[in-house]
Structure 1
Amino acid sequence: MRTHDLLTEGFGRIGEVVRETVDGLTAEDLSWQSRTGANTVGWLVWHLTRVQDDHVSEVAGREQAWTEDGWADRFGLPLETADTGYGHTAAQMASVRVPGAAELIGYHDAVRERTLAFVATVGDDDLDRVVDKGWNPPVTLGVRLVSVLSDDLQHAGQAAYVRGLLRADG
């Protein structure tokens, strides 16, 4: 297995969990909270997709799908365009009301396709390239991609769990 094959497998799994979790949910379902202040399926999937879009676009040297493909306009969220959800308060999280499952899956699929196109070009030697000197030690491409994979898989699992609570409640 080559580096790009491993990365393709990892990022592909995120998409599978997202689709299984979001498919068939209504806009109300996507905004359901198990208690006040708890994360919603919609926010979790929007956030994990925004982080992937932001981080992978940066290392790939291209504009984010969020802005380039008009997803920010379609979602119409009351947030700054560059917002990825990192550090959101409960009120900010609750303000992320996604239009519906189709739109959320559509945005995630668009980001996933861009990510897969990028990782298809990544070889072993690329993983040591420093992509962020703002940390000590500086962050390499390999570390950044594993960080995105880890964060996204955690949030995808959380979203699946919240969906389970939603269905158990209703």
Structure 2
Amino acid sequence: MDVNDLLTEAYDRLPDLVAAAVDGLSPEQLRQPPAPGANTVGWLVWHLTRIQDHGVADLLGEEQIWVTGDWARSFGLTADPDDTGFGYGPEQVATVRPENGQVLLDYHAAVVDRTRRYLRGLRPADLDRVVDLNWDPPVTLGVRLVSLLDDDLQHAGQAAYVRGLVERG
């Protein structure tokens, strides 16, 4: 298996995890915290998608999908490219109000499509390229891609767990 296939296989697991967390939930359930101050399914899926969109856009040197379309309106937000949800408190989590599950799935699908195209073009030597000098040791492309995936997988699992809590009331 080459690096493109390996990374694509790993990232391609996310859409099914996201769909399992979101499918069939009402807008109210997507916005419902399972306990006061907890994250919602809608916020978790929006956040993991924003993280991937922000990170891959940065690697490509392109604008984020979030700001190139009308996505923000569908979430009750503005199209701020710096807003990924990092550091949000409960009041800010509550401002992420997806219209429905489909908008979460559609935004995620658009981000995943671009990520797939990016991964297909990588060569093994690309993974050693330093992409961030702000860390010691500096962050390589390979490490950044694994970090993005790790963050997304954790949030997808959290979204599935929160879904179960919300459905059980």
Q: TM class by shorter-chain length? A: over 0.9
TM-score, normalization by structure 2: 0.95
Using the TM superposition, give the Cα deviation of residue 76 of structure 1 relative to its aligned residue in structure 2, in angstroms. 3.1
- State the match for 1:45 in structure 2: 45
How far, CA to CA, are the matches of 2:53 and 2:10 in structure 1? 15
- State the match for 1:157 in structure 2: 157
5+ long unaligned stretches in structure 2: none
- State the match for 1:4 in structure 2: 4
Give the letter for the 2:59 counterpart. Answer: V
- State the match for 1:146 in structure 2: 146
Question: Any idea what SS the aligned residue of 2:13 has?
Answer: helix
CA-based RMSD of the aligned residues comes to 1.3
- Are residues 1:166 and 2:149 paired? no
Question: Any idea what SS the aligned residue of 2:131 has?
Answer: strand
- Are residues 1:91 and 2:91 paired? yes
Question: Any idea what SS the aligned residue of 2:82 has?
Answer: coil
Of 67-76 and 122-131, deviating more is 67-76
Using the TM superposition, give the Cα deviation of residue 78 of structure 1 relative to its aligned residue in structure 2, in angstroms. 5.7
Measured against aligned partners, the alpha-carbon deviations of 1:87-109 in whole angstroms (never above 9, x if no partner) come to 11111111111111010100000
- State the match for 1:20 in structure 2: 20
The structure 1 segments of at least 4 consecutive aligned residues displaced by more than 4 Å after TM superposition are none
Measured against aligned partners, the alpha-carbon deviations of 1:126-159 in whole angstroms (never above 9, x if no partner) come to 0001111121211110000000010000000000
- Are residues 1:119 and 2:123 paired? no
- Are residues 1:102 and 2:102 paired? yes
How far, CA to CA, are the matches of 1:99 and 1:140 in structure 2? 37
- State the match for 2:33 in structure 1: 33
Of 36-45 and 70-79, deviating more is 70-79
Measured against aligned partners, the alpha-carbon deviations of 1:55-97 in whole angstroms (never above 9, x if no partner) come to 0111122111101133123333168442000111111111111
TM-score, normalization by structure 1: 0.95
Using the TM superposition, give the Cα deviation of residue 24 of structure 1 relative to its aligned residue in structure 2, in angstroms. 1.2
Aligned residues: 169
Give the letter for the 2:157 counterpart. Answer: G
Give the letter for the 1:98 counterpart. Answer: P
Question: Any idea what SS the aligned residue of 2:88 has?
Answer: coil
Q: Is the 2:54–2:84 Cα contact (8 Å) retained in structure 1?
A: yes
How far, CA to CA, are the matches of 2:156 and 2:74 in structure 1? 22
Q: Is the 2:74–2:98 Cα contact (8 Å) retained in structure 1?
A: no
- State the match for 2:72 in structure 1: 72
- Are residues 1:132 and 2:129 paired? no
Give the letter for the 1:130 counterpart. Answer: V
In 2 relative to 1, CA 73–32 (structure 1 residues): closer, same or farther, beyond 3 Å? closer
- State the match for 1:57 in structure 2: 57
In 2 relative to 1, CA 151–86 (structure 1 residues): closer, same or farther, beyond 3 Å? same
Question: Any idea what SS the aligned residue of 1:95 has?
Answer: coil
Question: Any idea what SS the aligned residue of 1:20 has?
Answer: helix
